[in-house]
Amino acid sequence: MFEAANIRDWIGLPVVDEAEDKVGTLESIYYDTATSEPTFGALTTGLVGFHKLVFVPLVGATVAPKHLRVAFPKKLVKDAPSIATDGELDAATEPELYQHYGIEYRTGSGGERRLGRR
């Protein structure tokens, strides 16, 4: 396992937790608007017809040829704030997302959002 030079190359591949339990499929990457660093992954989870996107921090994530491993347990990820697969992460949900994982949340100096999807 190693850190990815370009995490976007793993979009569409399975995401597993530290116990190798499948959590979902990497759908997109959300970047920190201040640093342009990949910060959260959006994962497709759920049953057929009832899919949703959940978010997981990419800190400590490693990659293998066929999956991305995140440093958070499956249960914590599955209970994270989510959006519809065709939805957008709104600004009001960002603080909840960071709080869910115990990460400090700060907006930019002008109050701008912390996360942006590319």
Q: What pLDDT score was predicted for residue 83?
A: 93
Question: Any idea which residue has 């999807």 for tokens?
Answer: 117
* Amino acid 2: pLDDT: 47
The pLDDT assigned to 3 comes to 59
Q: Cα–Cα distance between 89 and 42 in angstroms, integer?
A: 10
HSE-up of residue 60 (Cα within 13 Å, Cβ side): 9
Average pLDDT per run of 10 along the chain, which is 118 residues long?
70 95 96 91 87 94 92 96 91 94 86 85
How far is the C-alpha of 87 from the C-alpha of 73, rounded, in Å?
24
Q: What is the predicted pLDDT for the residue at 54?
A: 96
Q: Is residue 8 within 8 Å of 67, Cβ to Cβ?
A: no
Q: What is the 3-state secondary structure (H, E, C) of 60-101?
A: CCEEECCEEECCCCHHHHHCCCEEECCCCCCCCCHHHHHHHC
Tokens for 27?
Answer: 């759908």
Residue-level pLDDT at 46: 83
Model pLDDT, residue 6: 80
